[in-house]
Amino acid sequence: MASPRGTVDDSLWLDNTRAAASGTTYVPVDDSATGEEIARVRSATGEDVDRAFDSAARAQRRWADVSPADRVAVLAKAADILEGMADDLAVTMQAEVGTVASQVRGAQVGLGLTAMRLTAAAALDAITEREQIGGSDVVREPAGVVGAITPWNYPLFQVALKVAPAIAAGCAVVLKPAEVAPLTTFLVAEAFAEAGLPAGVLNVVCGGGASVGGAVAGHPRADFVSFTGSVAAGRKVAMAAARWGTRTSLELGGKSAAIVLDDDEEKVRAAVRHTTASCFGNAGQTCAALSRLIIPRRLLAEAEDEVRAVLEQVVVGDPSDAASTVGPLASREQRDRVAEHLRVAGKTAGVRTVAAKDVSHLTRGWYAPPTVVVADDPGAPIVQEEVFGPVLAIQPADDEAHAIELAEGTRFGLIARVWTDDDARFERVARRLRVGGVIQSDAPTVWDAPFGGVKDSGYGRERGAYGVEEYLVPKSLQRRAPQA
């Protein structure tokens, strides 16, 4: 199955089939490497969103009555089907997002399949968990009809993080993918239909965030709304849902820090290599990217030398070229946002550029220069604002207390890495950071551990059993005492 190209009028997925949207406007989808239009997707209207929620509401009760084991089996089969479509998925996401060939299989296709399979593995225990409190049995039931709104940076992974646990939990879904990267979503919908998902359990509507996304978030038939995206958009989603008292989960922005505590040159060099890989991966278009590096001040020169060595090895170019290590951003708009952040940084006192790649030879597509700056001013915009591009800010710290102060100095609270070999010191510092999760040094990410933020990074959790629980509600069954 190939992804849709050209003009896409049938941009709705309703009752397991493609249907024509009724909007009069089209959203262009660009090839990130060239800037050329590869598709024009007809936007949905409010009436189309109503049709999608009607379909989901009809299907939800029947799907909730299907056994959890059978629901999980459909999810696992859909993951297998999508794995067989890996070539189509990789090509589509490489064009939509710009992920380079060396990363698209792992960072895009692989993470999406991992999310689905880990959800399937964790779902049965989360759904069937039953506890007794006195004379009350507490069971967990589906939250109902779900409105899901996903971003463009990981079109399969982000969809999987919402659709997979919702379906496993027994919910029906109305999904609104990002307008600049909707094509992957049709492949996902086709895979679920082929896997045996009943008609109406998964529905897709396409279009702009303010119009179609707003209609999904504020729909009176939505029982739960899950959103991933910017802080500003997340607040609008929460306000739209609040009109009906609808519960929400928001996974928003980040300005995550890697904090080097050990006063050790080799530890700083390792942290620079790891952190730049995180910051530059997917061209910086990752909410959990480590975009700040906090290091002991006396080792700043060593860190700068390592940064320059890393930048020499970075190859910015066509994502289909195996030699490229950093590709383009997903859209002209995002490229221009990153350029503005860099322009402001260049005029900010206390911020200086350590190294940057020249991308002036890339005259087509949406490329931004991977850049590393040193910021002595913790209030500088390049430190405080989410760039969502390949830009790393190094912050020198005087001691451990100062490092924690710098790490805590933004309104975000998604993740952090703390570089130390001292386990007790790691936990002490990790517990002082107001973030959703902390990883020690270069330990691998545990993909079924709960993920989500605090402060302006949102609320709610995704991944594994915790992600499934978001789509369940507890119910108390209080029994009368046995008759004498």
Q: Are 78 and 115 spatial neighbours (Cβ–Cβ below 8 Å)?
A: no
The confidence band for 5, taking pLDDT boundaries of 50, 70 and 90, is low
Distance of CA 353 to the CA centre of its chain: 29
pLDDT tens for residues 24-43?
999 999 999 999 999 999 99
The confidence band for 6, taking pLDDT boundaries of 50, 70 and 90, is confident
Distance CA 270, CA 268 (A): 5
Mean pLDDT of 480-484: 73
DSSP assignment string, 70-134: HHHHHHHHHHHHHHHTHHHHHHHHHHHH---HHHIIIIIIIHHHHHHHHHHHHHHHHHH--EEET
Q: Establish whether 251 is a catalytic residue.
A: yes
The confidence band for 211, taking pLDDT boundaries of 50, 70 and 90, is very high
Distance CA 11, CA 326 (A): 31
* Average model confidence (pLDDT) across the chain: 96
DSSP assignment string, 346-358: HTSTTEEEEEE--
pLDDT given for residue 224 in this prediction: 98
Model pTM score: 0.96
pLDDT given for residue 395 in this prediction: 98
Tokens of 96: 């939509």
In the chain, the percentage of residues whose pLDDT exceeds 90 is 96
Cβ neighbours of 447 (radius 10 Å): 14
Q: Which helix (H) or strand (E) holds 18?
A: strand 17-19
pLDDT given for residue 13 in this prediction: 98
Q: Are 44 and 22 spatial neighbours (Cβ–Cβ below 8 Å)?
A: yes
Mean pLDDT of 15-27: 96
pLDDT tens for residues 176-199?
999 999 999 999 999 999 999 999
pLDDT given for residue 137 in this prediction: 94
pLDDT given for residue 473 in this prediction: 97
Domains of the chain: 6-252+458-475 (3.40.605.10), 256-451 (3.40.309.10)
Mean pLDDT of 437-444: 97
pLDDT given for residue 3 in this prediction: 52
- List 251, 306, 469, 470, catalytic entry: 251
